[in-house]
A and B are shown apart, each in its own frame.
Chain A
Amino acid sequence: MEAGKSSSDLEQEVFSQDLCTSCGACVNICPYIKVVKDKVAVIEPCGLTEGKCYDFCPRTLTDIAALDRSVFGKTRTDYSLGPYISIEMAQAKDSEVRCRAQYGGVVSALIKYALDTGEISNAVLTRPFDVALMPSSVLAEESSQSLECAGSNYISSATLAKMNEATKQGKDSLGLVGIPCQVMALRKMQSSKHETRAKGVKLVIGLFCTWALSYKGFSEFLREKVDLSKVRRIDIPPPPANIMVVETAAGDARFSLDEVRKFIKPTCGVCYDMTSEFADISVGMVEGIEDWNTLIVRTPAGRKFIDKAKKAGVINAKPLEQTRLEHLKQASSIKKKRAVDAIQKRTNDKKNLLYLRLSAQEKKKYV
């Protein structure tokens, strides 16, 4: 969006400022930017003055209203949750799916359904606990793979790097499940003036996210407590518990969230998006209800797909109570406010919001 910025600028403004989200948008589009685990780096400056890498990054200039127009054809009116058509509660009908999933199993069920029906040909997913806790991005061709990718371990993987690899091979009609920064980067790619095959992603399911942990810090911490190869599930029960529960084949480990918070990626502190506001469909937990999800339908394409899935009996849905909706909006607003505060603290300038370009209304609410 901002002309004339290169990989060196990306390095300076994002990587060296600890702002990289490891989304992978800049990886696998050139030979210079690589990722290992959740570390992304410019191996060698390519020498070009203008780079896709810079433009695609979710932490370079992002005009929220412009992205709204590009994805939704209009700007938002809800400044907490972004544009949406409907919000409801949902769960997978299949109890096995629910059982394997983090909460209500909606994402796993929807991806399985999309692959089975040919809605998408492949899905870019994240398999948690792949090698010693590090999740891996996978290109799923079969619906059975969807369940392997259920659950979360609070570490982000470079999902878009896998997507770039897939689109380079000519794959289109892709589905993608990602966290807000990944979804934001994907939409920046799709609306970029640069040549990109990211338009081949037809279904974007965004996850709710409050923060992600850095692999190195968290895995070293957890290695002291449990055998990493035996980890099956990691969960953070709703407040006021303030704990993290790590389920392993050899029993559970619990510890205070305060111990874990120091491994939160610094970039998550400046994140303005909790609910994947640019996805077709956003899915997250319902606080206090273990086996249901919050389901936000945002685009007409998302609406059409969810209607089909409901009709096919893939998911059950029911209205989200008003108090829970208010609670969700409040949580999202808190994240936005915190992000703006953190950015201002970084820049030491009330007007300099780093990568964020907000509308006057949003500024009024959060700045």
Chain B
Amino acid sequence: MVTLELNQPGKTVLMMGDEAIARGAIEAGVDFCASYPGTPATEIPESLARVADRFNIYAEWSTNEIVAFEAATAASLAGLRAIVAMKQNGVNVCADFLMTVNLAGTNGGLVLVAADDPSAISSSNEQDSRSYARYADLPLLEPADFQEAKDMTKWAFEVSEKLGLPCILRSVTRLSHSRGNVKLGELPEKKRAAKFEGVYISGAFVAAQHAALHQKLEQAREIFEGSRFNFYVGPKKAKFVIVTSGSGWLYSREAVAALGLEGKVGILKMGTTWPLPEKFVVDHLKNVTEILIVEEVDPFLEQNIKILLAEQAKTLGPIEVYGAKSGHLPAYGEMNQDKVTAALASIKGLQPKTRDEKYIEKSREAITCIPLRMPTFCTGCPHRASLWVIKSALKLDGRDGFVTGDIGCYSLGAGPAGYFQLKTIHCMGAGIGLANGFGKLDKFGFNQPVIAVCGDSTFYHAAIPALINARVNNSNVLMVVLDNGGTAMTGFQPHPGSGFDACGRPAPTVEIENICKAIGVEVRVRDPFEVSQAVQDIYDMLQENGPRVMVFRRRCFRIEAKEKLQEKYYVDQTKCIGDDCGCARFCSRVFNCPGIIWDQEAQKAKIDEVVCTGCGVCATLCPRGAIMVRGAAS
């Protein structure tokens, strides 16, 4: 992270996309950063928090994205520069504020980084957040490489300040999380003092505000017309031009080179995609007869360009447009060079050269050597025990109870790792929200018990209003908070219960059980590793009516194992009787922790000591008591 602080303008360094964005913010003199973790943009606030003292930045992990955005907006209203970073789902959480702050306006530069996760590599949905810019009439920038990630971020603050509007900077996972060369700029001397003045109200004279917003957007278009982030490369009078933005830029260049089309195909690279700098685009499409539009996820640029082509039909004449609508490129999933090459080759009637004629065949063969691995919980993960407990209690209850899920590591509970317990997964907080509704269906003959699971971080983020709703409407729901002591899935960032802040300093805590008590619901706290007691508790709670909360509290073992030496477990193979046991390999097959393996030679269970974190839950479940602590007397 030293590179973030380097005061050597002109020096080229290797940077992760998120670090480049953070550096851009630093070069813009950013004062305030708020965010919610677990996104392709997580390293932006983490980077800024690390240098918070050095550059006098305030950095926080907020309870959720809308709170982060509102807090950052406050800094802007006080004349400071602020950045807020999130993924596509976070933008949805912000939407309500976004659709009013656009009308009320901002003061100091305010940048919203929307880092989309195409292909939903680590998300519950795939979404193109660029539509929000068009929807909310806000300026949109799309960096295409690491240098632009830094430079455009710095510029975004200026654009925002000029317009008095938040500026949206769209990244994607591949840009945020890969690394490339970045030439550093100057570090500014920060002089801003916070002072609030003026009135920022959305709701008075809304129609007039909306009209003024459209004028600001025209102003943005003017600024974008001269932006150096929009440019053309290729032959002077190309008839075929690729129009691209964001990650599509590098893929397009590679595709053109791969097909040897450098002399025939031009690339119009757009860095400012909303509002479109129409003059700039029209100027570069004169004499062009075919265009291919390359972008990631939705046909956002494609639709805007098509509208422009229709408006400019007299000037430009007929132009054939290839892209998502024509079926040449998908409007879903991550973009890559192969997809662009295939599209270009198909339009041009070329045969793309593959690396090796037998490449596909060879790779298929290689795949058969890879052992089949299902996504699973880490060894020692408390969620495995929690979901086994929930499964057991629901089975004992026998009324076809089910679990409404939520977003977190425990989403894996929908698969074999969590014994297929989660039956619904949507957005954060939706588990308890849905359970709320299920819990009120008794008058329609519904008698299945409903358990809503929710992580600790999710509890603070999005679950509390639904729990209050369950309380006041007396909904029959059991909420199980899987409290592993932090926002574990995303790198263990702190949450309101953690006791430390984004910069690692001690912070006050807000206890989950105290919130539950204040709401007036029955709450119990239990260690899910005490499996049999926990099963009894959940079973008992399932027999009760109204809203109830069980907090399964056990720290994420990845963190626990780092902090202190764990006990070493082993299978005493004189006690394990293998297939004679009658347990049918419960430990390695059903409980299915990756730390327990089947010893083919001995035909008995065995602990993989490299993987085992020593949680000891399997030892309590083995019917022979064959799993032992190393060094302990048997």
By a beta-carbon cutoff of 8 Å, the part of chain A in contact with chain B is 15, 28-32, 34-37, 39-44, 46-48, 51-52, 168, 216
**What separation, in Å, do the CA atoms of A42 and B391 have in the docked complex?**
11
Give the residue of B395, B536, B591, B623 whose beta carbon is less than 8 angstroms from that of A30.
Answer: B623
> Contact at B398–A41, with CB atoms within 8 Å?
yes
Residue of A30, A36, A39, A48 most packed against chain B (CB within 10 A): A36
> Contact at A52–B582, with CB atoms within 8 Å?
yes
> Contact at B397–A39, with CB atoms within 8 Å?
yes
**What separation, in Å, do the CA atoms of A356 and B63 have in the docked complex?**
63
> Contact at A46–B586, with CB atoms within 8 Å?
yes
- What B residues does A46 contact at CB under 8 A? 582-584, 586, 590
**Other A-B pairs beyond A34-B396, A41-B392, 20, CB < 8 Å:** A28-B623, A29-B623, A30-B583, A30-B586, A31-B583, A31-B591, A32-B586, A32-B590, A34-B532, A35-B396, A36-B396, A36-B535, A36-B540, A37-B539, A39-B539, A41-B396, A44-B391, A46-B590, A52-B582, A216-B543
Please classify how large the interface on chain B is, using the bins under 10, 10 to 19, 20 to 34, 35 or more.
20 to 34
By a beta-carbon cutoff of 8 Å, the part of chain B in contact with chain A is 391-393, 395-398, 419, 532, 535-536, 539-540, 543, 582-584, 586, 590-591, 621-623
- What A residues does B540 contact at CB under 8 A? 36-37
28 A–B contacts, CB within 8 A, in A order = A29-B582, A31-B583, A31-B621, A31-B622, A32-B583, A32-B586, A32-B590, A34-B395, A34-B396, A34-B532, A36-B536, A39-B396, A39-B397, A39-B539, A41-B396, A42-B395, A43-B391, A43-B395, A43-B396, A44-B391, A44-B419, A44-B590, A46-B586, A48-B582, A48-B584, A51-B582, A168-B623, A216-B543
**What separation, in Å, do the CA atoms of A88 and B536 have in the docked complex?**
42
> Contact at A34–B582, with CB atoms within 8 Å?
no
A232: min CB distance to chain B, Å: 23
**What separation, in Å, do the CA atoms of A36 and B536 have in the docked complex?**
6
Chief secondary structure at chain B's binding surface: helix
Residue of A32, A40, A48 most packed against chain B (CB within 10 A): A32
**What separation, in Å, do the CA atoms of A215 and B93 have in the docked complex?**
46
- Give me the 5 closest cross-chain CB pairs, A-B, nearest first: A36-B539, A46-B584, A31-B586, A41-B396, A41-B395
- What B residues does A29 contact at CB under 8 A? 582, 623
A192: min CB distance to chain B, Å: 13
Given contacts A31-B586, A34-B392, A44-B391, contact A39 B419 (CB under 8 A): no
- What B residues does A52 contact at CB under 8 A? 582
User: Which of chain B's residues has its CB closest to A11's CB?
Assistant: B395
- What B residues does A39 contact at CB under 8 A? 396-398, 539
- What B residues does A34 contact at CB under 8 A? 392, 395-396, 532, 535
- What B residues does A37 contact at CB under 8 A? 539-540
A37: min CB distance to chain B, Å: 7
B182: min CB distance to chain A, Å: 53
**What separation, in Å, do the CA atoms of A34 and B532 have in the docked complex?**
9
**What separation, in Å, do the CA atoms of A48 and B398 have in the docked complex?**
22
User: Which of chain B's residues has its CB closest to A42's CB?
Assistant: B395
User: Which of chain A's residues has its CB closest to B538's CB?
Assistant: A36
**What separation, in Å, do the CA atoms of A30 and B583 have in the docked complex?**
6
- What B residues does A51 contact at CB under 8 A? 582
**What separation, in Å, do the CA atoms of A48 and B393 have in the docked complex?**
23
A252: min CB distance to chain B, Å: 27
- What A residues does B391 contact at CB under 8 A? 43-44
User: Which of chain A's residues has its CB closest to B398's CB?
Assistant: A41
User: Which of chain A's residues has its CB closest to B622's CB?
Assistant: A31
A54: min CB distance to chain B, Å: 12
**What separation, in Å, do the CA atoms of A36 and B395 have in the docked complex?**
11
**What separation, in Å, do the CA atoms of A85 and B125 have in the docked complex?**
75
**What separation, in Å, do the CA atoms of A31 and B623 have in the docked complex?**
6
Residue of A29, A35, A41 most packed against chain B (CB within 10 A): A41
**What separation, in Å, do the CA atoms of A242 and B3 have in the docked complex?**
87
**What separation, in Å, do the CA atoms of A193 and B582 have in the docked complex?**
14
